[in-house]
Amino acid sequence: MVALEKMFESLKAGERFVAEFGGAGNVELILNEFRNQCEKEGYPVTSESLPWYFLSIGEYTSLMEKVGFKVTYAVHFSRPTALDGEEGLRYWLRMFMPDFLGSLPDDVETKVLENVENSLRSILYKNQKWEADYKRIRVMAIK
């Protein structure tokens, strides 16, 4: 909410705000399987250790209106995103979860990553590359 308030304050009357970001369901398959595999190894993923939360379009536009924006356009859509190569999913997990993965013993980290890949391969590995299940929200609003 504070970020939206600051963005609203930074605009002049009549100026437009445009943004795109992760929405409800963003990388849900990946995150759920990651949590599942970590839990199997005795390392539960809590909201404190991985504080990701993706708002629904209704939640976000309501917050925008609360700070004063007039929302003129909002859409929630799937945007499958290619992660290059055989190790694309593993690289993605390491890039976005370095603190959590870094807290695991090396052998557990390796096992978790391998098990996530094995579980998701039939769903997210297509044409020799991984495809992340991104869900996006795109909004336009006027101050």
pLDDT of residue 52: 87
pLDDT of residue 84: 85
Q: Are strands 129-132 and 135-142 parallel, antiparallel or unpaired?
A: unpaired
pLDDT of residue 48: 85
Q: How many CA atoms lie within 13 A of 77 on its CB side?
A: 7
pLDDT of residue 33: 97
- In single-letter form, the type of residue at position 58 comes to G
pLDDT of residue 51: 80
3-state secondary structure of 96: helix
**47 and 28 in contact (C-beta within 8 Å)?**
no
Q: What is the CATH number of the domain that holds 42?
A: 3.40.50.150
CA distances from 85 to 31, 59, 121, 129, 136 (A): 20, 35, 12, 5, 23
**111 and 41 in contact (C-beta within 8 Å)?**
yes
Q: Any idea how long the chain is?
A: 143
Mean pLDDT, each 10-residue run in order, the chain (143 residues): 92 97 97 96 89 93 97 98 93 93 95 97 93 98 98
Domain that holds residue 30: 2-142
Q: Structural domain tally of the chain?
A: 1
3-state secondary structure of 54: coil
H helix or E strand, kind and range, residue 45: none
